[in-house]
Copies of this chain bind each other. A is one copy, B any other.
Amino acid sequence: MAENFEISTQHREELVDITPQVESLVRKSGIQDGLVNVYAQGATSAIMIQENWDESVQTDVVDLLRKIIPQGAWLHDQQDGNGDAHLKAGLVGPGESIPIIDGHMGLSRWQNIFFCEFDGPRDIRRIVCTLIST
């Protein structure tokens, strides 16, 4: 079963916690044991599992990626100026698969699911959740 949801983003680069939306789809599916694959449909976005105690780690992720992959230094910038966004998206990756255990996601206490925006703001970003029962 595949279920989609959409979000909007407010900044060029930001992390948006989408754990509640995914957990809601897991519950709705009724699956007790299995896997949920969370997939970002967009070549300048990604999915990262990360802590959400406060905004510090999210800010650190954006800063780290800016440092490793600076803006404006890439061949692809001649096309549409977002070479860094593509590289960040490729390195982090578009998806993560998370265990479903007893009807809930098997995340640990400090693991949340983040949509990573690298070329925003965007009105619509689509995330596909594929739910598989074992």
Which residues of A pack against B, CB within 8 Å?
A: 1-2, 33-35, 37, 39, 41-43, 48-51, 53-54, 56-57, 59-61, 63-64, 68-69, 74-76, 78-79, 83, 86-87, 89-101, 106-111, 126, 128, 130-134
Contact = CB atoms under 8 A, between A and B. Distances in A.
Nearest to A46: B49
Report whether over half of chain A's contact residues are helix, strand or loop; otherwise say mixed.
mixed
Given A1-B33, A50-B89, A108-B126, 5 more contacts: A41-B108, A49-B90, A57-B86, A97-B97, A101-B128
A87 B61 contact: yes
B35 A37 contact: yes
A57 to B, nearest CB: 5
6 contacts: A34-B130, A60-B75, A61-B87, A91-B92, A130-B134, A131-B134
A111 B82 CA distance: 15
Contacts of A99: 2, 37, 39, 128, 130
